[in-house]
Protein backbone atom coordinates (compact mmCIF):
# COMPACT_ATOMS: atom_id res chain seq x y z
CA UNK A 1 0.00 0.00 0.00
CA UNK A 2 1.00 3.61 -0.51
CA UNK A 3 2.02 5.40 2.66
CA UNK A 4 -1.20 7.45 2.82
CA UNK A 5 -3.28 4.27 2.40
CA UNK A 6 -1.72 3.01 5.64
CA UNK A 7 -3.66 5.71 7.49
CA UNK A 8 -7.04 4.65 6.09
CA UNK A 9 -9.62 3.39 8.60
CA UNK A 10 -11.81 2.02 5.82
CA UNK A 11 -13.65 -1.16 6.92
CA UNK A 12 -12.40 -0.81 10.50
CA UNK A 13 -14.74 -0.70 13.53
CA UNK A 14 -13.69 1.48 16.46
CA UNK A 15 -14.97 2.10 19.98
CA UNK A 16 -14.10 5.28 21.91
CA UNK A 17 -15.00 5.61 25.59
CA UNK A 18 -15.48 9.19 26.73
CA UNK A 19 -16.44 9.78 23.09
CA UNK A 20 -19.29 12.11 23.95
CA UNK A 21 -17.15 15.23 24.01
CA UNK A 22 -13.63 16.64 24.21
CA UNK A 23 -10.62 14.64 23.06
CA UNK A 24 -12.65 11.43 22.66
CA UNK A 25 -15.14 13.06 20.30
CA UNK A 26 -12.34 14.56 18.18
CA UNK A 27 -10.70 11.13 17.84
CA UNK A 28 -14.08 9.61 16.93
CA UNK A 29 -14.59 12.22 14.20
CA UNK A 30 -11.10 11.65 12.83
CA UNK A 31 -11.68 7.88 12.61
CA UNK A 32 -15.08 8.33 10.96
CA UNK A 33 -13.61 10.80 8.47
CA UNK A 34 -10.90 8.23 7.67
CA UNK A 35 -13.61 5.65 6.92
CA UNK A 36 -14.23 3.77 10.20
CA UNK A 37 -17.55 2.83 11.76
CA UNK A 38 -17.19 4.47 15.18
CA UNK A 39 -19.07 3.87 18.43
CA UNK A 40 -18.85 6.61 21.07
CA UNK A 41 -19.44 5.30 24.60
CA UNK A 42 -20.13 7.83 27.36
CA UNK A 43 -22.06 8.40 30.59
CA UNK A 44 -25.10 10.50 29.55
CA UNK A 45 -28.17 8.57 28.44
CA UNK A 46 -28.49 10.76 25.36
CA UNK A 47 -25.61 12.32 23.43
CA UNK A 48 -25.09 16.08 23.69
CA UNK A 49 -26.20 18.56 21.05
CA UNK A 50 -22.54 18.97 20.05
CA UNK A 51 -22.36 15.21 19.42
CA UNK A 52 -25.51 15.38 17.28
CA UNK A 53 -24.02 18.11 15.11
CA UNK A 54 -20.90 15.98 14.67
CA UNK A 55 -22.95 12.94 13.64
CA UNK A 56 -24.78 15.01 11.03
CA UNK A 57 -21.39 16.08 9.64
CA UNK A 58 -20.19 12.46 9.48
CA UNK A 59 -23.43 11.38 7.74
CA UNK A 60 -22.98 14.15 5.23
CA UNK A 61 -19.39 13.12 4.62
CA UNK A 62 -20.10 9.43 4.21
CA UNK A 63 -23.54 9.61 2.61
CA UNK A 64 -24.39 8.83 -0.97
CA UNK A 65 -21.77 10.16 -3.30
CA UNK A 66 -19.29 10.29 -0.40
CA UNK A 67 -16.11 8.34 -1.01
CA UNK A 68 -15.93 6.99 2.53
CA UNK A 69 -18.14 4.64 4.54
CA UNK A 70 -17.58 6.14 7.98
CA UNK A 71 -20.36 6.27 10.58
CA UNK A 72 -20.83 7.58 14.11
CA UNK A 73 -23.04 5.92 16.75
CA UNK A 74 -23.64 6.72 20.41
CA UNK A 75 -24.15 4.22 23.27
CA UNK A 76 -24.49 4.95 26.97
CA UNK A 77 -21.82 3.17 29.01
CA UNK A 78 -20.31 3.63 32.46
CA UNK A 79 -16.81 2.17 32.20
CA UNK A 80 -16.64 1.56 35.96
CA UNK A 81 -19.22 -1.23 35.46
CA UNK A 82 -17.09 -4.16 34.33
CA UNK A 83 -19.76 -6.62 33.14
CA UNK A 84 -21.90 -3.94 31.50
CA UNK A 85 -18.86 -2.59 29.63
CA UNK A 86 -17.92 -6.09 28.44
CA UNK A 87 -21.52 -6.69 27.31
CA UNK A 88 -21.88 -3.39 25.43
CA UNK A 89 -18.60 -3.91 23.58
CA UNK A 90 -19.52 -7.54 22.83
CA UNK A 91 -22.88 -6.45 21.35
CA UNK A 92 -21.17 -3.91 19.08
CA UNK A 93 -18.58 -6.48 17.93
CA UNK A 94 -21.34 -9.03 17.24
CA UNK A 95 -23.42 -6.53 15.28
CA UNK A 96 -20.44 -5.41 13.18
CA UNK A 97 -18.79 -8.84 13.02
CA UNK A 98 -15.49 -7.30 14.12
CA UNK A 99 -13.66 -4.84 16.34
CA UNK A 100 -10.37 -3.30 15.21
CA UNK A 101 -9.66 -0.31 17.43
CA UNK A 102 -10.53 0.69 20.98
CA UNK A 103 -9.62 4.02 22.56
CA UNK A 104 -10.03 4.26 26.36
CA UNK A 105 -10.45 8.01 26.72
CA UNK A 106 -13.00 8.29 29.57
CA UNK A 107 -11.37 10.00 32.53
CA UNK A 108 -11.99 12.45 35.36
CA UNK A 109 -9.83 15.04 37.11
CA UNK A 110 -10.25 16.23 40.70
CA UNK A 111 -7.83 18.16 42.90
CA UNK A 112 -7.09 18.04 46.60
CA UNK A 113 -4.13 18.78 48.86
CA UNK A 114 -2.17 15.57 49.26
CA UNK A 115 -2.59 15.55 53.05
CA UNK A 116 -6.36 15.95 52.72
CA UNK A 117 -7.37 13.32 50.12
CA UNK A 118 -10.54 11.58 51.25
CA UNK A 119 -10.27 7.81 50.71
CA UNK A 120 -13.65 7.48 48.99
CA UNK A 121 -12.91 10.36 46.58
CA UNK A 122 -9.47 8.86 45.83
CA UNK A 123 -11.07 5.50 45.01
CA UNK A 124 -13.75 7.12 42.82
CA UNK A 125 -11.05 8.68 40.66
CA UNK A 126 -9.08 5.43 40.48
CA UNK A 127 -12.26 3.55 39.59
CA UNK A 128 -12.77 5.64 36.43
CA UNK A 129 -9.16 6.38 35.43
CA UNK A 130 -7.59 3.00 36.21
CA UNK A 131 -10.24 0.29 36.66
CA UNK A 132 -12.44 1.77 33.92
CA UNK A 133 -9.49 1.75 31.52
CA UNK A 134 -8.73 -1.88 32.41
CA UNK A 135 -12.40 -2.90 31.92
CA UNK A 136 -12.48 -1.14 28.53
CA UNK A 137 -9.24 -2.76 27.35
CA UNK A 138 -10.48 -6.16 28.56
CA UNK A 139 -13.80 -5.72 26.78
CA UNK A 140 -12.07 -4.90 23.50
CA UNK A 141 -9.19 -7.35 23.86
CA UNK A 142 -11.60 -10.24 24.46
CA UNK A 143 -13.50 -9.49 21.25
CA UNK A 144 -10.33 -9.03 19.19
CA UNK A 145 -8.77 -12.24 20.57
CA UNK A 146 -11.96 -14.30 20.05
CA UNK A 147 -12.11 -13.18 16.40
CA UNK A 148 -8.39 -13.45 15.68
CA UNK A 149 -8.24 -9.73 14.87
CA UNK A 150 -4.87 -7.99 15.18
CA UNK A 151 -6.46 -4.95 16.78
CA UNK A 152 -5.13 -1.75 18.30
CA UNK A 153 -5.93 -0.69 21.87
CA UNK A 154 -5.09 2.90 22.78
CA UNK A 155 -5.19 4.17 26.35
CA UNK A 156 -5.30 7.92 26.96
CA UNK A 157 -2.77 8.60 29.71
CA UNK A 158 -1.26 12.07 30.32
CA UNK A 159 2.01 13.91 30.74
CA UNK A 160 0.87 13.80 34.41
CA UNK A 161 1.83 10.11 34.41
CA UNK A 162 5.47 11.22 34.08
CA UNK A 163 5.63 14.60 35.81
CA UNK A 164 3.60 16.45 38.42
CA UNK A 165 1.91 19.53 36.98
CA UNK A 166 3.59 22.57 38.59
CA UNK A 167 1.44 24.07 41.39
CA UNK A 168 -1.52 21.73 40.75
CA UNK A 169 -2.56 19.46 43.64
CA UNK A 170 -3.46 16.47 41.53
CA UNK A 171 -1.87 13.50 43.37
CA UNK A 172 -4.71 11.08 42.58
CA UNK A 173 -4.84 12.01 38.89
CA UNK A 174 -1.04 11.81 38.51
CA UNK A 175 -0.99 8.42 40.21
CA UNK A 176 -3.84 7.14 38.03
CA UNK A 177 -2.11 8.17 34.81
CA UNK A 178 1.16 6.50 35.87
CA UNK A 179 -0.88 3.36 36.43
CA UNK A 180 -2.30 3.64 32.90
CA UNK A 181 1.24 3.71 31.45
CA UNK A 182 2.15 0.47 33.23
CA UNK A 183 -1.21 -1.13 32.44
CA UNK A 184 -0.62 -0.42 28.76
CA UNK A 185 2.85 -2.01 28.77
CA UNK A 186 1.43 -5.04 30.60
CA UNK A 187 -1.39 -5.44 28.06
CA UNK A 188 1.05 -4.98 25.17
CA UNK A 189 3.31 -7.76 26.43
CA UNK A 190 0.49 -10.19 27.28
CA UNK A 191 -1.49 -9.70 24.07
CA UNK A 192 1.48 -9.23 21.72
CA UNK A 193 1.58 -12.97 20.84
CA UNK A 194 -2.03 -12.63 19.58
CA UNK A 195 -0.99 -9.69 17.38
CA UNK A 196 -3.00 -7.22 19.48
CA UNK A 197 -1.20 -3.93 20.11
CA UNK A 198 -1.57 -1.54 23.05
CA UNK A 199 -0.12 1.97 23.28
CA UNK A 200 -0.72 5.16 25.25
CA UNK A 201 -1.10 8.77 24.20
CA UNK A 202 0.09 11.27 26.82
CA UNK A 203 -1.31 14.72 26.09
CA UNK A 204 -0.13 17.90 27.76
CA UNK A 205 -2.65 20.63 28.57
CA UNK A 206 -5.58 20.51 26.15
CA UNK A 207 -8.38 23.07 26.19
CA UNK A 208 -11.49 21.00 27.04
CA UNK A 209 -14.25 21.02 29.69
CA UNK A 210 -11.84 19.16 31.99
CA UNK A 211 -9.22 21.92 32.03
CA UNK A 212 -11.73 24.76 31.60
CA UNK A 213 -13.12 23.95 35.06
CA UNK A 214 -9.75 24.94 36.55
CA UNK A 215 -9.02 27.83 34.16
CA UNK A 216 -12.38 29.47 34.94
CA UNK A 217 -11.52 29.43 38.65
CA UNK A 218 -8.12 31.12 38.47
CA UNK A 219 -7.68 34.13 36.15
CA UNK A 220 -3.90 33.84 35.72
CA UNK A 221 -3.78 30.06 35.29
CA UNK A 222 -3.93 30.15 31.48
CA UNK A 223 -0.79 32.31 31.34
CA UNK A 224 0.97 30.04 33.83
CA UNK A 225 0.16 26.88 31.90
CA UNK A 226 1.14 28.42 28.55
CA UNK A 227 4.54 29.40 29.98
CA UNK A 228 5.20 25.79 30.99
CA UNK A 229 5.72 24.30 27.52
CA UNK A 230 8.04 25.03 24.63
CA UNK A 231 5.24 26.13 22.27
CA UNK A 232 3.76 28.58 24.77
CA UNK A 233 0.11 27.55 24.38
CA UNK A 234 -2.49 24.88 25.16
CA UNK A 235 -3.44 22.24 22.57
CA UNK A 236 -6.80 22.21 20.85
CA UNK A 237 -8.50 18.82 21.24
CA UNK A 238 -8.36 18.30 17.46
CA UNK A 239 -4.55 18.23 17.72
CA UNK A 240 -4.89 14.72 19.20
CA UNK A 241 -6.43 13.43 15.96
CA UNK A 242 -3.23 12.75 14.02
CA UNK A 243 -1.52 10.72 16.72
CA UNK A 244 -4.72 8.72 17.37
CA UNK A 245 -5.08 7.98 13.66
CA UNK A 246 -1.45 6.83 13.53
CA UNK A 247 -1.93 4.41 16.44
CA UNK A 248 -5.34 3.15 15.32
CA UNK A 249 -4.37 2.53 11.69
CA UNK A 250 -1.94 0.24 9.86
CA UNK A 251 0.61 3.09 9.92
CA UNK A 252 1.78 1.81 13.32
CA UNK A 253 1.78 -1.99 12.91
CA UNK A 254 5.15 -2.46 14.74
CA UNK A 255 4.29 0.00 17.51
CA UNK A 256 3.24 -1.55 20.82
CA UNK A 257 3.97 -0.89 24.49
CA UNK A 258 4.93 2.68 23.65
CA UNK A 259 3.87 6.02 25.06
CA UNK A 260 3.47 8.86 22.58
CA UNK A 261 3.82 12.22 24.34
CA UNK A 262 1.93 15.12 22.73
CA UNK A 263 2.62 17.92 25.19
CA UNK A 264 4.07 20.92 23.34
CA UNK A 265 7.41 20.06 24.92
CA UNK A 266 6.31 20.38 28.56
CA UNK A 267 8.07 17.19 29.69
CA UNK A 268 11.19 18.18 27.72
CA UNK A 269 11.94 20.69 30.46
Binding site for ligand NAD (CB under 6 A): 17-18, 20-24, 42-43, 77-80, 105-109, 128, 132, 156, 158, 203, 205-206, 208-211
> Which CA distances in Å does 184 have to 199, 200, 202?
6, 7, 12
Nearer to ligand NAD (CB atom), residue 48 or residue 59: 48
Query: Could you say which of 173, 194, 207, 224 is catalytic?
Result: 173
Shortest distance, position 206 Cβ to ligand NAD, whole Å: 4
Nearer to ligand NAD (CB atom), residue 99 or residue 235: 235
Long-range contacts of 219-228 (CB under 8 A, 24+ apart): 224/166, 224/167, 228/166, 228/266, 228/269
> Which CA distances in Å does 174 have to 74, 109, 126, 178, 184?
29, 9, 10, 6, 16
Q: Is 177 a catalytic residue?
A: yes
Helix, strand, coil % in the chain, rounded to nearest 5 = 50, 15, 35
**Alpha carbons 47 and 28: distance in angstroms, whole number:** 14
Which DSSP state fits 247? H
For 233, the 3-state DSSP assignment is coil
Shortest distance, position 194 Cβ to ligand NAD, whole Å: 26
Query: Could you say which of 127, 177, 194, 212 is catalytic?
Result: 177
Q: Is 173 a catalytic residue?
A: yes
Shortest distance, position 99 Cβ to ligand NAD, whole Å: 18
**Alpha carbons 176 and 184: distance in angstroms, whole number:** 12
**Alpha carbons 174 and 196: distance in angstroms, whole number:** 27
Pairing of strands 13-17, 37-42: parallel
**Alpha carbons 146 and 155: distance in angstroms, whole number:** 21
Q: Residue 172: CB partners within 8 Å, gap ≥ 6?
A: 110, 112, 117, 121, 122, 125, 126
Shortest distance, position 129 Cβ to ligand NAD, whole Å: 7
Q: Active-site residue numbers?
A: 173, 177
Amino acid sequence: PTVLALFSMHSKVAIITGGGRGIGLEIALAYAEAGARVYCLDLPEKPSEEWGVCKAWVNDLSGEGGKRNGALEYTQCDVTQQRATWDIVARIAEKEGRLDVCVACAGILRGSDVLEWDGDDWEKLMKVNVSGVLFTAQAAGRQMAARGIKGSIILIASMSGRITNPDMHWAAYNTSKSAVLQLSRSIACELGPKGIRCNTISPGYVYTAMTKAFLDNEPNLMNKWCAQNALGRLANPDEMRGIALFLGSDASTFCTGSDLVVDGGQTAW
